[in-house]
Amino acid sequence: MVKRNPGMVIYKELNWETLMKTLKDSVKDITVITIILAFSGVFGYGVVFDDLTTTIASALVSITTNKTLLLFLVILFLLLCGMFMETTVIALILTPILLPVMQNVGVDPVVFGMIMMTCVTFGVMTPPVGTGLYTVSDIMGCSIQETVRYGWPFYVAVLLVVVFMVFFPDAVLWLPNLVYGA
């Protein structure tokens, strides 16, 4: 077995104990992801069965019918969700709810997908729960405060990109239209 796995011999970093620990950690992570996927599927079925999208669409449209303002409200909501929930969970739970609402007010699904995933991914780099923030800080060997302090220019850049996508959706659609045709 040792001859088949060069990492054990060449780098001398992988031993059986480390391999077993890695396998156990992988099984735990995969189990959590599978449970999240299973429950998000059940939640998605409930959303469709109870026609929750229509209820949420009515509530959002009752606030405003302005497409841009509605999009900024959803962006704010996604940024807040991103601060407290994992990206995959948000995408699986909120996409079936928010996508039909945004399509009803005239937002292109590709543009909304780009905006949604940018906001949600941005959320994992912000406190209090920002798992990406903690991971980066740990890898870099610096404090959370230091990472946030030096990360502000990047936070601003991401928010500017989101604003750009809202006001210039054709720029977002340029490459897909080029590849797949308008």
What is the chain written as a DSSP string?
-TTT-HHHHTS----HHHHHHHHHHHHHHHHHHHHHHHHHHHHHHHHHHTTHHHHHHHHHHHH---HHHHHHHHHHHHHHHHHHS-HHHHHHHHHHHHHHHHHHTT--HHHHHHHHHHHHHHHTTSTTT-HHHHHHHHHHT--HHHHHHHHHHHHHHHHHHHHHHHH-HHHHHHHHHHHH--
User: Using one digit for the tens of pLDDT, what is the confidence trace for 18-38?
Assistant: 889 889 988 987 887 777 667
Backbone angles phi, psi at 4, to 5 degrees: -80, -15
**Do 82 and 5 fall into the same domain?**
no
Domain-embedded: residue 55: no
Q: Is residue 166 part of a domain?
A: yes
Q: What is the pLDDT of residue 107?
A: 92
Note whether 46 and 69 are same-domain residues: no
Q: Whole-angstrom Cα distance, residue 158 to residue 49?
A: 36
**100, 11: one domain:** no
58 lies in some domain: no
- Domain of 26? 1-50
pLDDT for res 68: 92
* Pair 119, 86 in one domain: yes
Same domain? For 16 and 97 the reply is: no
Q: Same domain for 149 and 80? A: yes
Same domain as 150, residue 94:
yes
The answer to the question of residue 169 being in a domain is: yes
Same domain flag for 86 and 161: yes
pTM of the model: 0.71
Let me know if residue 16 belongs to a domain.
Answer: yes
Q: Check whether residue 97 and residue 124 sit in a common domain.
A: yes
The answer to whether 131 touches 86, Cβ cutoff 8 Å, is yes
pLDDT digits 0-9 by tens, 60-112: 778 887 889 999 999 998 888 888 777 887 888 888 888 988 998 899 999 99
Is residue 76 located within the same domain as residue 151? Answer: yes
Domain total for the chain?
2
Domain annotation covers residue 56: no
